[in-house]
Structure 1
């Protein structure tokens, strides 16, 4: 009986670790003072026709980015999608965050107000630490 209780306990803890993995991890990479800090996502869910579209697609342990030239002040439509795995996104030193997704597309409108390199990273622990930490991409704003 004690053996069965131990097995159930271990299974419950293991399930809890897998199910909750990364759910509170929104800190992302360490802060870098050279990265702009005051860019905000738009609360407007409809994207203007003149916004520049940046497509970000996550698969296991990488984020692919296709982007046009972006200038500070441009409206940007960020289209997040997942090819495989479960991923969540954030752009370092901004308020842009996308909750965990496994399929479909989520769109966020964002207007960067300073030039610089904006690091996009996965906030959902999605595998071994060394592979998860490599899930980064850069959006360049001129």
Structure 2
């Protein structure tokens, strides 16, 4: 009877370890497919990072994109607390929440600080222009 219990226990342990493990090849295949999904979700997106300091915005590159492009905006607050908005484009950008949208209509759009961050004149000067071209 002891041999049967030992045999059942050994079989259960072997089955459990085999189920939790897996081959290195299977693990690599999983990692590879995860990478391709990540790449697919971010490919084709024009990404801009905007830095905000008291009374000024700067971007890592010119905010000019082609109509039909997918766009991702990121905001980094280096000094003060700022947000960026544009009602026409539906942008409400906060430092901890990137915004993604498709540029559907050509034109020049003002991206403004939508959080009052100082004296009225200084605050009104916080803007960037986003150009959507053909």
User: Common fold, TM-score beyond 0.5?
Assistant: yes
Query: Could you list the per-position Cα deviations for residues 86-137 of structure 1 after superposition, in whole angstroms to 9, with x for gaps in the alignment?
Result: 11110242211024x5xxx531111110111111000111011110000000
Match of 1:25 in 2: none
The answer to whether 1:83 aligns with 2:74 is no
2:111–2:127 CA contact under 8 A, matched in 1: yes
Give the CA RMSD over aligned residues.
Answer: 2.0
Query: Could you list the per-position Cα deviations for residues 69-98 of structure 1 after superposition, in whole angstroms to 9, with x for gaps in the alignment?
Result: 411110011111111001111024221102
Unaligned runs of 5+ in 1: 1-45
2:42 is aligned, of 40, 44, 48, to 48
User: How far apart, CA to CA, are the structure 2 residues paired with 1:89 and 1:128?
Assistant: 17
Larger Rg: 2
User: 4+ runs of 1 displaced by more than 6 Å?
Assistant: none
Q: Normalising by structure 1, report the TM-score.
A: 0.59
Aligned residues: 93
2:53–2:78 CA contact under 8 A, matched in 1: yes
Q: Normalising by structure 2, report the TM-score.
A: 0.62
User: How far apart, CA to CA, are the structure 2 residues paired with 1:140 and 1:127?
Assistant: 27
User: How far apart, CA to CA, are the structure 1 residues paired with 2:84 and 2:101?
Assistant: 14
User: How far apart, CA to CA, are the structure 2 residues paired with 1:139 and 1:84?
Assistant: 22
